[in-house]
Structure 1
Amino acid sequence: MNKTVIIQGSANSFGNTHKVVNYLNKDKKFDVIDLKTKNIGPFEYDFSNANDDFLPLMEKIITNYDTLIFATPVYWYTMSGMMKDFFDRMSDLLHYKKELGRQLRGKNIAMISNSAGNDRRIGFEMPFIESAKYLGMNYLGDTHVWFNNDKIADNAKLSIEQFGNKI
């Protein structure tokens, strides 16, 4: 299996992140999961959110995909809150559902971010890189996309295409 999923984590299901995902996925090669449509609570030390959508979603992802592309807007210099909750919930896979978490080893992660300008700060990608290392996953890289007048900037389109070819 060599299947890829884009995990979109934006407060607006049809905003700029959606535009970026659609541009990257114009050939419909990848499946897309919109975290906005899922009920995923924050990490709880007592795993009291174990009955929300996170664990079934992770079972689906782990079973069906080798590569996970995280697509997030830049909110306050970092990933979106729902993407952060998703990453925090990976802790469920380290303690509560270890056997499921171990199945992430050897899978791939990549990340695509976007904002109004070409202004992503140095270090934005660090949580994605370090999470991949910690989970035994391969980090394939990242790119940043920006907009001009609500449209993806031409230089950013080239960046998306190069990123897509690398994945």
Structure 2
Amino acid sequence: MKNTTVIIVGTSRNNGNTTKIAAEIANQYAIDVINLNDYQFSYYDYEGKNRDDDFQPLIKSIIEKYDTVIFATPNYWYNMSGIMKVFFDRCTDIILIEKETGKSLKGKKCAVISNSHTDEMESDFYIPFRKSAEYLGMKYIGNAHFNADKFNLKDKIELAFI
């Protein structure tokens, strides 16, 4: 399989720092971008009442097309954005309901791009991403943090995991 990478953007502002950083990285590295705000999906539901929303087609498309997934999220109250958390929670669907889809994640790679108004991100921020990757059989290949106050779109962005 050809090495294909996608950035999944989860943020509250379509024109905010996370989106701008992801777009610049995508431009520099010729990577596709998926903005979760472009899809309609709801919280995980134990009764499966939301099975007809956009989540299943979206996750199946991601699994089919890409072998590396980079999650891009701002730091909101010491955690990933709400929409990113909902996306991760919905992965329960592919573990409990669409099991074959979930098994297809095994061996794929994932990384995280975060941003805030500080120079560094505490390593604890990345625990949910690392542990989720481990649970799903994915290889966590790293993370990069950007200070939104200092980010310059003209600079070449170096990402060790790409």
TM over 0.5: yes
2:17 corresponds in structure 1 to 16
1:28 to partner: Cα distance = 5.4
TM-score by length of structure 2 reads: 0.93
Deviations 1:25-50 (Å, cap 9, x if unpaired)?
A: 22351110000111010001111111
2:3 corresponds in structure 1 to 2
Q: Distance in 2 between matches of 1:98 and 1:88?
A: 15
Identity of aligned pairs, percent? 43
Secondary structure of 2:144's partner?
A: strand
- Unaligned runs of at least 5 residues, structure 1: none
Matches within 5 A, 1:10-159: 10-27=11-28, 29-148=30-149, 152=151
Of residues 14-23 and 64-73 in structure 1, the stretch that sits farther from structure 2 once superposed is 14-23
- Unaligned runs of at least 5 residues, structure 2: none
Secondary structure of 2:56's partner?
A: helix
Amino acid of the structure 2 residue aligned with 1:162: E
Secondary structure of 2:158's partner?
A: helix
Q: How many residues align?
A: 160
1:166 corresponds in structure 2 to 161
User: What is the aligned-residue RMSD (CA, Å)?
Assistant: 1.6
Deviations 1:112-166 (Å, cap 9, x if unpaired)?
A: 0001222523300000000010000000100110122xx5169xx67xx331x53
TM-score by length of structure 1 reads: 0.90
